[in-house]
Amino acid sequence: MQFDTKVAILVLEDLAVWQKLNVTAFLATGIAGAAPEAMGEPYLDAAGREHARLLGQPIMIHAASPETLARAYRQGIERGLTRAVYVRPMFATGHDAANREAFLAEPAEAPDLVGLALRGSRKDVDKATKGASLHP
């Protein structure tokens, strides 16, 4: 199936595995929250029990250098893509309000990104993620 939109998550390549997983999970929830129309229907198991909805399209996970993250961030802004961000100081916080404060304290044009999720037209997301390889 071909989708009009694309979702990509870029994660800093040299993070510890637990950090990569944590960042990816947070960023995926950011995209799901910003794009409820992208959510699929609830899952039903064979016993008829309902389970949570998932994003209705694939999410591409990329490994990225700091330079690639910065470029994708700028491109995401310029192209008007939906963005979810995770900056290094957020590893030291313990709740959402502190995460928002940590992000607000970052330089607007050059935050210390460790992860970025983008959603928008396939063409624009592809251009923004140019240079990032799929995560191994």
pTM listed for this prediction:
0.94
Across 73-93, average pLDDT: 98
The residue among 19, 5, 32, 132 whose CA lies nearest residue 72 is 132
> pLDDT by residue (tens digit) across 100-124?
999 999 999 999 999 999 999 999 9
> pLDDT by residue (tens digit) across 40-79?
999 999 999 999 999 999 999 999 999 999 999 999 999 9
The pLDDT score that the predictor gives to residue 120 is 97
The residue among 103, 28, 118 whose CA lies nearest residue 64 is 118
Q: Which domains does the chain have, with CATH numbers?
A: 5-134 (3.40.1490.10)
CB atoms under 10 Å from CB of 27, counted, come to: 25
Cα distance between residue 136 and residue 63, in whole Å: 8
